[in-house]
Amino acid sequence: MNIHWLSLRLAMAIHQEQINEHGGANGLRDKGLLESALMSPQNQYYYNKIIDIPSLASSYTFSIVKNHPFIDGNKRTGFIAGVTFLMLNGYQFTASEIEVVNIIQALASSTITEEELQKWFIAESKQIKNKE
């Protein structure tokens, strides 16, 4: 399986886009926390043998939201990072905007667990069929 991982550069671009679109303070609070968040899905894949793309996508979202590496926009950036990872790996995300807001707010306030977030990502992710 050839997985397309998110780079530091891409994560920074996602954050910048979210700040430009929705406002908030721009900037990285802690580069090490962002790097740690970006490595979390790879650790899940290589060490815990988690190989399904939606679970790995949820790891990006969870880690960025919880690590809080940016000055502002961590929830938005974390969610979009997870969805971007899905898209790069042949999936689309189907949840409604209101559901996304509710789940990501619940994650930020520790109302849902990492496992619950993972189950939600699995339920709301659909593999895009190749046109051949």
For 22-71, how does the pLDDT look when each residue is reduced to its tens digit (9 = 90+)? 999 999 999 999 999 999 999 999 999 989 999 999 999 999 999 999 99
Q: Which of 32, 37, 42 is nearest to 75 (CA)?
A: 37
Place of tokens 């671009």: 13
CB distance 32 to 98 below 8 Å:
no
d(CA 118, CA 114) in angstroms, rounded, equals: 6
d(CA 11, CA 35) in angstroms, rounded, equals: 10
Structural domains in the chain plus CATH codes: 30-127 (1.20.120.1870)
pLDDT above 90: percentage of residues in the chain? 95
pTM: 0.94
Q: What are phi and psi of 58, to 5 degrees?
A: -65, -30
User: What sign has the CA pseudo-torsion 46, 125, 122, 13?
Assistant: positive
Residue 132 has pLDDT above 80, yes or no: no
